[in-house]
Chains A and B, each alone.
Chain A
Amino acid sequence: MMNAFEVGLTRYLKNEQLEKIQHIHVGIAGAGGLGSNSAIMLVRTGFKKITVVDFDEVDSSNLNRQNYFMDQVGESKVSALANTLRKINPAIELQIVNAKITKDNIAEIFFSCDIIIEALDTPAGKTLIVEELAGNKQLVVAVSGLAGFGNSDRIKTHKINEHFYIVGDLVSGIDALPPLAPGVTIAAAKQVDLVVEYVLK
């Protein structure tokens, strides 16, 4: 049985499209600016099977771009995000993993995912996700270069191969430029749009 949220979705998506979306399992590596925003967009688009992984807690310095609120500061990011996602659609099959992703646990965490959203902060974390997962049949959508402001059309989608895409301008890192809501949200939105296209095409 569909809940009211899902009935609402059927105004915009055909039943067979919604069915496709609901069968896909998306893994989100990181629940920061990219991860929190992409998770919310995925749930709003109808995705139900979602795994979110992060070891961190919400900090007041996250609130400029990450989808958390003042009353969640100090809470674990995955648990705070789970609450928000369930407010949008209580029927999601959400798995939260409060852990740091390493070489040793990555395969097990993302084993059953069809699609991986790379949403980590550091270059080392990003390369770990791509090296370990982009060689499989899973779709990997990573991000490189979202910091700063201005000329937001620089944040582009780069297709590396059938199963591996990178969103970003490839140069604007947080070592030199601030991560701000517009750039981060644009990158997250492009990641999710790629996922939607991949599933519905």
Chain B
Amino acid sequence: MEISVNGKPVKIEIAMNLAQFIQSRGFKPQTVVIEYNGEIVKAQTWEGIVLKPHDRLEIVTFVGGG
């Protein structure tokens, strides 16, 4: 199936939840915020969100410095 990640199409071969997807793409979970179909979703809910065709993800990565 195909989903959209930061505006680009991404193909996914096996069913997975948001937490697994983030790991599979090499992100450090503590450093990203995810907007899932237009809503910010908290990290503790990622495991319960199973990706489905046409889902839209915006993955925002934070680097340190303030």
Q: How many whole Å from B23's CB to the nearest CB in chain A?
A: 16
Contact A166 B65, beta carbon cutoff 8 Å: no
Contact B66 A124, beta carbon cutoff 8 Å: no
**A33 interface residue per 8 A CB criterion:** yes
Contact A174 B65, beta carbon cutoff 8 Å: yes
CA distance A57 to B39 in the complex (A): 36
Number of chain A interface residues as a range: 35 or more
Decide: A172 near B62, CB < 8 A? Known: A124-B30, A124-B31, A131-B42.
no
Contact A130 B33, beta carbon cutoff 8 Å: yes
**A120 interface residue per 8 A CB criterion:** yes
Interface string of A63-104 (1 = CB under 8 A from B): 000000000000000000000000000000000000000000
**B43 interface residue per 8 A CB criterion:** yes
Interface string of B13-48 (1 = CB under 8 A from A): 000000000000000101111010011101100000
Decide: A131 near B33, CB < 8 A? Known: A160-B60, A166-B60.
yes
User: How many residue pairs at the A-B interface have CB separations less than 8 Å?
Assistant: 82
- The residue among A35, A122, A174, A175 with the most chain B CB atoms within 10 A of its own CB is A122
Contact segment of A6-14, A16-24, A108-116, A140-148: A140-148
Contact B31 A164, beta carbon cutoff 8 Å: no
Residues of chain B within 8 A (CB-CB) of A172 are 63, 65
Residues of chain A within 8 A (CB-CB) of B35 are 160-161
- The residue among A127, A145, A170 with the most chain B CB atoms within 10 A of its own CB is A127
**A123 interface residue per 8 A CB criterion:** yes
Decide: A170 near B61, CB < 8 A? Known: A127-B30, A127-B31, A130-B40.
yes
Q: How many whole Å from B65's CB to the nearest CB in chain A?
A: 4
CA distance A164 to B58 in the complex (A): 12
Contact B39 A135, beta carbon cutoff 8 Å: yes
Contact A145 B63, beta carbon cutoff 8 Å: yes
CA distance A196 to B28 in the complex (A): 33
**B53 interface residue per 8 A CB criterion:** no
Interface string of A159-192 (1 = CB under 8 A from B): 0110010101011111100010000100000000
Give residues in B with beta carbon < 8 Å to A. Answer: 28, 30-33, 35, 38-40, 42-43, 58, 60-66
| Nearest 5 CB-CB pairings of A with B | A173-B63, A123-B31, A123-B62, A174-B65, A121-B66
7 A-B residue pairs with Cβ-Cβ distance under 8 Å, sorted by A, are A121-B65, A123-B28, A131-B42, A135-B40, A144-B65, A160-B35, A173-B65
